[in-house]
Amino acid sequence: MFLRADKVRRGDTLQCDVCIVGAGAAGITIAQELVDSRLKVILLESGALRGDAETQSLAEGRTRGTEQTPLDQSRLRLFGGTTNHWAGICRPLDELDFLERSWVPDSGWPISRQSLEAYYRRAHPVCDLGPYDYGDAAWSRNIDPDDLFARADIVLKLVRYSKPTRFGTKFRRTLNRSNSMRVVLNANVTEIVPDPTVQTVRSVDVRTLAGNHFSVGARAFVIACGGIENARLLLLSDRFTRRGLGNDGDRVGRYYMDHLGTKYVGLMLHFDETMVRVATPSDYAGVGSKIGLGMTSEALTRERLLNHVMYIQQPQPLERMKAGAEIFGKHWDLSSVERVGEQTPPFLRLLGKARGSKLSLCYMESEPSPNPASRVTLSDEIDRLEQRKLIVDWQLHDPDYASISRAAQTYAQVVGRYGLGRMSLVRWLRDPKAERDRRVFPAQHHMGTTRMADSPSRGVVDSDCKIFGLDNTYIAGSSVFPTTGYINPTLTIVALSLRLADHLRGTL
């Protein structure tokens, strides 16, 4: 059943078994999993079924440090959350992403990749991704019949495209039909209220932009407001704890991460069709897909690199590339395109073994290393609900840039060594002294601000996503990721949410 928060009687306290705050990918996934359980659920959503500017303005905040997309553009406040404008790119994290790595400070999840495998499988139909298959399938043999990449310690990474599934649209009817489910729209949670001992959360305070207010009490609470809003809500909940809820270890809001997009790494001149096949998107089992290049775990470990993927765009004429690069010039480093003389590729090609004339742009996505100085805090600015707004200060370590640079150089070497073509790299990737030129593109994947850890001194939630020190409050979403891998976060958000739903069903 859906209802509007303004219709709830002012000052009332609604009761349920599970209160979920936020109806995005995480919140809706958990809610739809609990539909057939015996649990009474209330799902609170700040927005309505359609977006409105007034509600969206609550997403405003300030950014600092590395260039970011404005906070009210990268996130959406309506039913379905940011899945209303996501690109649909999916793939599970790699096994290495879960491990503690000596060259990545504060790395390591308290759970293994294997423990998420069953949930990744279940997440596939949720995201409309077709068969769960990322392994050594026919597509891999078609692209690389000679196992050339394996010899170069390179792996092909299959990435699947969701439709993209709009979670609000897909699950609206299911949630509406359920007798045990109440979805309250225009319900802005402004504070999580624990008992005075700060061991159990009693309720959450809800306000509407029209001036109504009420509370929701529950046996368990799930905070699923998004990668940075989760931290904000904990920091705002400072009635009994000056630092905010779950923040005894001063970890809430720290380790803010986004994927490091490098647009562009440079150009690839193809000597044969191998990399063209890598660059060609295709339908795999009826689902759109693309392929990226990555390195084996052994190579990443040996070279002490951050995990990453390099994508090669489909070949296109040089002039079209230049035009495209100019349109998006603000974020794209044009140097590699501008430096290509019309005769450079023909010269190199004639020396090479093939006669083709194809050129592609290449770009890369990399994980950042976790950084406690990269953080979400509250500013003194107040929003329309009289809540303190966010400051997101995205800080990167120098080794993050160095890792991208070394990875790009390795690909350029491999491409040359195996006669696949030649690569040009933008200046900061090939010259360590060109620090002023280095630039990464924010992927708008907000992660890490309430990280999962094995102790409260290292994180905010435990391996069940339960906030340390609180016995009935959980966090869902990418804010629990201790490290990010290179791939877009939604599939992992959904997998973790399914796991949390199982946990709630089993324990309540």
Of 18-26, 57-65, 252-260, 340-348, the segment contacting other proteins by CB under 8 A is: 340-348
Counting Cα atoms < 13 Å in the Cβ hemisphere of 349 gives 16
Q: How far is the CB of 339 from other proteins (least distance, A)?
A: 5
Question: Among 81, 261, 345, 469, which residue sits at the site for other proteins (rule: CB under 8 A)?
Answer: 345
> Could you report how far apart the first and last alpha carbons of the chain are, in Å?
22
C-beta closer to other proteins: residue 424 or 490: 424
CA 142 to CA 138: how far, in whole Å? Answer: 6
C-beta closer to other proteins: residue 414 or 440: 414
C-beta closer to other proteins: residue 80 or 345: 345
Question: Among 114, 179, 197, 343, which residue sits at the site for other proteins (rule: CB under 8 A)?
Answer: 343
Within positions 299 to 338, which residues make up the interface with other proteins, using CB under 8 A?
335-336
Binding flag, residue 125, other proteins (CB under 8 A): no
Dihedral over Cα of 74, 78, 82, 85: its sign:
negative
Within positions 401 to 420, which residues make up the interface with other proteins, using CB under 8 A?
409, 412-413, 416-417, 419
Q: How far is the CB of 141 from other proteins (least distance, A)?
A: 24
Within positions 417 to 436, which residues make up the interface with other proteins, using CB under 8 A?
417, 419, 422-427, 430-431
C-beta closer to other proteins: residue 47 or 345: 345
Q: How far is the CB of 414 from other proteins (least distance, A)?
A: 8
Please check whether residue 404 is in contact with residue 262, taking contact to mean a CB–CB distance below 8 angstroms.
Answer: yes
Within positions 260 to 279, which residues make up the interface with other proteins, using CB under 8 A?
266
Size of the site for other proteins (CB under 8 A): 31
Region for 77 from its dihedrals, namely left if φ exceeds 0, alpha if ψ lies in -120 to 50, beta otherwise: beta
Q: How far is the CB of 350 from other proteins (least distance, A)?
A: 4
CA 426 to CA 431: how far, in whole Å? Answer: 9
C-beta closer to other proteins: residue 437 or 471: 437
DSSP state of 467: B
C-beta closer to other proteins: residue 131 or 341: 341
Return the H-helix or E-strand segment holding 324: helix 318-327
Counting Cα atoms < 13 Å in the Cβ hemisphere of 77 gives 23
Within positions 349 to 378, which residues make up the interface with other proteins, using CB under 8 A?
350-353
Please check whether residue 268 is in contact with residue 423, taking contact to mean a CB–CB distance below 8 angstroms.
Answer: yes
Dihedral over Cα of 76, 79, 85, 86: its sign:
positive
Q: How far is the CB of 216 from other proteins (least distance, A)?
A: 58
DSSP per-residue string spanning 105-142? TT---SS-HHHHHHHHHHHHHHTT--S---SS-HHHHH
Task: Return phi, psi of residue 90, to 5°.
Answer: -135, 145
Q: How far is the CB of 422 from other proteins (least distance, A)?
A: 6
CA 380 to CA 391: how far, in whole Å? Answer: 10
Residue with tokens 């030129």: 437
Site residues (CB under 8 A) for other proteins?
Answer: 266, 335-336, 339-348, 350-353, 409, 412-413, 416-417, 419, 422-427, 430-431
